[in-house]
Amino acid sequence: MGIRKAKRADIDQLEAIENKVFVYDRLSRRSLRDYIASPRVEMLVATQGRELAGYSLVAFRKDSVFARLYSLAIAPEWNGKGLGRALLEASEKAARRRGATAMRLEVRAENQPAIALYIKAGFECFDRIDDYYEDGATALRFEKSLRIRR
For 30, other C-beta atoms within 10 Å of its C-beta total 9
From the list 35, 55, 70, 118, the catalytic residue is 118
Name the strand (E) or helix (H) holding 89: helix 83-97
Longest CA span, the chain: 43
User: What confidence tens digit (pLDDT) does each residue in 74-91 have?
Assistant: 999 999 899 999 999 999
Task: Note if 124 is an active site residue.
Answer: no
| pLDDT exceeds cutoff 90 at 131 | yes
Identify the band that residue 24 occupies on the pLDDT scale cut at 50, 70 and 90.
confident
Q: 138 Cβ partners below 8 Å, 6+ apart? A: 108, 109, 128, 129, 130, 131, 132
Domain extent listing, the chain = 2-104
**pLDDT, position 149:** 67
Name the strand (E) or helix (H) holding 141: strand 139-145
As a whole number, the mean pLDDT across the chain is 95
Mean pLDDT over 107-123 rounds to 96
Task: Note if 106 is an active site residue.
Answer: yes
SS (H, E, C) 19-83: HHHCCCCCCCHHHHHHHHHCCCEEEEEEEECCEEEEEEEEEECCCCCEEEEEEEEECHHHCCCCH
User: What confidence tens digit (pLDDT) does each residue in 44-65 have?
Assistant: 999 988 899 999 999 999 889 9
Query: Topology of domain 2-104, per CATH?
Result: Aminopeptidase (3.40.630)
From the list 51, 106, 132, 143, the catalytic residue is 106
Q: Residue 148 phi/psi, 5° resolution?
A: -75, 125
